[in-house]
Amino acid sequence: MPPMSARPAAIPAHSRASRGAAARGRSARPWLTALTVALALTSCRPRNTATSPAPDVWEAGGDAAREHAITRTRAPVGLPEPVLDFLAQETLKNLAQLQGEGAEVPAYFLAYDLIARDHLWLEAQDGQIVRNRRDSDRTVDVDVRVGTRQLDNSHPGDANYGPGNGLGSGMFVSVQDDPLALSQALWQYTETQYKDALAAFSAAESAEQLKSQTEDKPPSPDFSEEKPNIHAEPPVALDLAALSKQWEPRLREVSAALADDPHVLESQVVFLAWVDNRAYVNSENTRIQGSQVRLRLMLQAKAQADDGMTLDRFESFEAQDPEQLPAQSVLLATARRLRDEVLALRVAPLAEPYAGPAVLAGRAAGVFFHEIFGHRLEGHRQKDDLEGQTFADMVGKRVLPVFLDMVDDPTAETLGGVPLSGHYHVDDEGVPAERVVLVERGKLRTFLLGRSPVLPFTKSNGHGRRERGYQAVARQGNLIVTSRKTIPDKELRRALIDEVKRQNKPYGLWFSDIQGGYTMTERAGPQAFKVMPLLVYRIWPDGRPDELVRGVDIVGTPIAAFETIIATGDSPGIFNGMCGAESGEVPVSAVSPSLLLRNLEVERATHERGKPPLLPPPPVGGKPDPKGMSPAPAASPPRKAVNAGGHGGRDLSRETAQPARRSR
């Protein structure tokens, strides 16, 4: 899987959700209006809780018993656009040809996924706008399946997950509403995808014939049967020109504050807006008209230590409506905090290899679960022979401490008022999103499933996801962890110190922020993970002040890592960001209370040895520093585990679930 990234050129990439007035409105471009349509819309003491995680609250067990409301809304109902009927006609026509006498191997499934996107990218550096770009495009993904549902061209093997196997094309089509141009594009791309599907199916058949049949269980089918789904939301539009005009002066002010020290070698503030209007039709009579609005604000500051190590701090804010974006005062405070933190990091001591008690605070815990556990529950990994299949035979068995529950709930729109980026109503294979209980009282119940089933589970649970141009596979949406054994957040530091003393260790570690990482899931390599934290503190048991350190990575194996969880905090930390894997980058959320671990292993991180700049920096704010480079501020103490200021948090940059060689 490619790295999880969210920094265009250093920092982009694509959520869905509540639509406020600014996001509503009919599309400014009527879809192929000459066509007609006929479509029906149709303390550490556990507290007993329900037998499964409550669907409408995030609830902490223990004495605190804190609840945070989870909100869901019905998808807005709109009139179907003519393009849906047009795509349905093209699907029937082209599939009939691919099933005719001239077809080498008849196709049994065809789908068209047409997405019209409007996009804004604003970027500021050093108090000035360096990029202001607005563009629009339309792409179509053509999915052709040949063979049978038991064995088709999607069959896992040495081939990649697309494009190249007839599934996922991401080809550009005309932005004009011209039926002939769209029909011609569909004809050409369908022909290309069919030929790719034939080649992939032939390779899959050959591989299966040469494979030793030693397993005592039947193989899982390649493609599930699902009920037709009719779903139509009204098209949405945003005035990107007005957004650009509104945000340009705000970005200039924030970027000036972020760069306001000569030790900050590089900084940028980026505002991204996407508006996607989607029309999906397949040969099983599923018709989806959906829309997605996504807004992102990203702040990044970089500095360099005297030994050459590059250091950076990063913060992102996610929204589905402009009204959800933070106030200017919040952005300015965030910029100053990031600047101070990166300056403190450049003079912090290097960490040393160590294994001992630790706390993963707030959203750092969510990233930990997403990276190490969530990827291993994605359905396609349970049936691919190249995968380690860590939990393939663990359904009904304990995989986490008995006081932990885990669900993945794309239907959740907000938690405690915070928008969740992994929210959607219908997945990218046309299947309704479902709330899925993955782990209950520590026992594995099921997997995240798209339309590639894993026996004994024969149906999708609405988690087939992709970026344009990729084949859809099972992916995480809103991964939510709850606990039945909690410690009030304000007492976590004391609990950590007590554990340090009990083990007679010199110190404990407190992880305030994590930038992401990668996990290796292929059986050809070690079933291990590496997570890259950004803010790490030594917590001394003798009363010394907490000490910020740098240059540390968390390492380990998944089963061993989760066995060391002693207890959790009592409030959710929320991570919102992007996850990159075989099916490209998709928006996700990861929610977890802070974790107290008996043992966590860290190692030294790799770093550059380049010399700091030789030339003096220009004056900051027009006033030269009389002493040259200004001193860095003192390291701030660990921040309390909170919901990332109510606006999401760190991007999962560089986050990867191996294998990385399967994507483009």
Question: Residue 382: pLDDT above 50?
Answer: yes
Alpha carbon distances (Å) from 238 to 26, 118, 120, 276: 10, 9, 10, 10
Question: Residue 648: pLDDT above 50?
Answer: no
Residue 93 pLDDT: 97
* More confident position, 259 or 8: 259
Question: Residue 25: pLDDT above 50?
Answer: no
Please compute the mean of the pLDDT values over residues 138-142 and round it to a whole number.
97
Cα angle 125, 345, 597; round to 5: 120
Neighbours of 344 (CB within 10 A): 20
Biggest CA-to-CA distance, the chain: 84
Give the integer Cα–Cα distance in Å for 145 and 259: 52
Residue 386 pLDDT: 65
Give the integer Cα–Cα distance in Å for 444 and 439: 5
Give per-residue pLDDT as tens, 148-191: 999 999 987 654 555 678 998 899 999 988 899 999 999 999 99
Q: Is residue 643 within 8 Å of residue 574, measured between CB atoms?
A: yes
Give per-residue pLDDT as tens, 106-115: 999 999 999 9
What is the dihedral angle through the alpha carbons of 410, 282, 474, 151, rounded to the nearest 10 degrees?
A: 160
Closest to 62 (Cα-Cα) out of 596, 642, 594, 570: 570
Half-sphere exposure of 230 (CA within 13 A, CB side): 12
Please compute the mean of the pLDDT values over residues 545-567 and round it to a whole number.
91
> In sequence order, which residues have a C-beta less than 8 Å from that of residue 160 and are 6 or more positions away?
582, 661, 662, 663, 664
> What are the tokens at 130?
């360096």
Question: Residue 19: pLDDT above 60?
Answer: no
Q: Is residue 170 within 8 Å of residue 189, measured between CB atoms?
A: no
Please compute the mean of the pLDDT values over residues 524-537 and round it to a whole number.
79
Residue 385 pLDDT: 63
Question: Residue 592: pLDDT above 60?
Answer: yes
Give the integer Cα–Cα distance in Å for 448 and 454: 10
Closest to 643 (Cα-Cα) out of 571, 569, 573, 568: 573
* More confident position, 448 or 518: 448
Closest to 311 (Cα-Cα) out of 353, 271, 339: 339
Output phi, psi for 581, to 5 deg. -150, -160
* More confident position, 386 or 143: 143
Q: Is residue 500 within 8 Å of residue 507, measured between CB atoms?
A: yes
Give the integer Cα–Cα distance in Å for 432 and 410: 10
Residue 4 pLDDT: 38
DSSP character for 645? G
Domains of the chain from N-terminus onward: 21-41+77-209+217-346 (3.30.2290.10), 349-606+650-662 (no CATH)
Please compute the mean of the pLDDT values over residues 251-274 and round it to a whole number.
96
Give per-residue pLDDT as tens, 489-504: 999 999 999 999 999 9
Closest to 257 (Cα-Cα) out of 181, 190, 338, 326: 338
Residue 212 pLDDT: 65
Buried b (16+ CB within 10 A) or exposed e, 423-444: bbbbbbbbbbbbbbebbbbbeb
Give the integer Cα–Cα distance in Å for 35 and 256: 52
Please list the alpha-helical segments (H only) found in 303-361. Answer: 328-346
The confidence band for 519, taking pLDDT boundaries of 50, 70 and 90, is low
Whole-number average pLDDT of the chain: 83
Percent of the chain with pLDDT over 90: 64
What is the dihedral angle through the alpha carbons of 325, 327, 328, 334, rounded to the nearest 10 degrees?
A: -80
Question: Residue 660: pLDDT above 80?
Answer: no
Q: In 3-state terms, what secondary structure has residue 622? A: coil
> In sequence order, which residues have a C-beta less than 8 Å from that of residue 634 and are 6 or more positions away?
344
Question: Residue 274: pLDDT above 90?
Answer: yes
Alpha carbon 233 to chain centroid, angstroms: 24
Residue 55 pLDDT: 73
Please compute the mean of the pLDDT values over residues 344-354 and round it to a whole number.
95
DSSP character for 328? H
Closest to 310 (Cα-Cα) out of 276, 270, 263, 271: 263
Residue 372 pLDDT: 86
Alpha carbon 401 to chain centroid, angstroms: 25
The confidence band for 215, taking pLDDT boundaries of 50, 70 and 90, is low
Residue 117 pLDDT: 97
Question: Residue 476: pLDDT above 50?
Answer: yes
Please compute the mean of the pLDDT values over residues 27-32 and round it to a whole number.
35
| Beta strands 508-519 and 354-360, pairing class | parallel
Closest to 167 (Cα-Cα) out of 185, 193, 187: 193
Question: Residue 22: pLDDT above 90?
Answer: no
DSSP character for 376? G
Residue 160 pLDDT: 53
Give the integer Cα–Cα distance in Å for 1 and 580: 7
Residue 272 pLDDT: 98
> In sequence order, which residues have a C-beta less than 8 Å from that of residue 525 and are 6 or more positions away?
658
Give the integer Cα–Cα distance in Å for 436 and 450: 12
Question: Residue 528: pLDDT above 80?
Answer: no
> What are the tokens at 380?
């396609």
* More confident position, 71 or 231: 231
Question: Residue 651: pLDDT above 60?
Answer: no
Question: Residue 613: pLDDT above 50?
Answer: yes
Range of 169-173, 243-247, 646-650 with top mean pLDDT: 243-247
Residue 642 pLDDT: 28
Question: Residue 13: pLDDT above 90?
Answer: no
Give the integer Cα–Cα distance in Å for 647 and 574: 9
The confidence band for 621, taking pLDDT boundaries of 50, 70 and 90, is low
pTM of the model: 0.83
The amino acid that residue 206 corresponds to is S
Question: Residue 284: pLDDT above 50?
Answer: yes
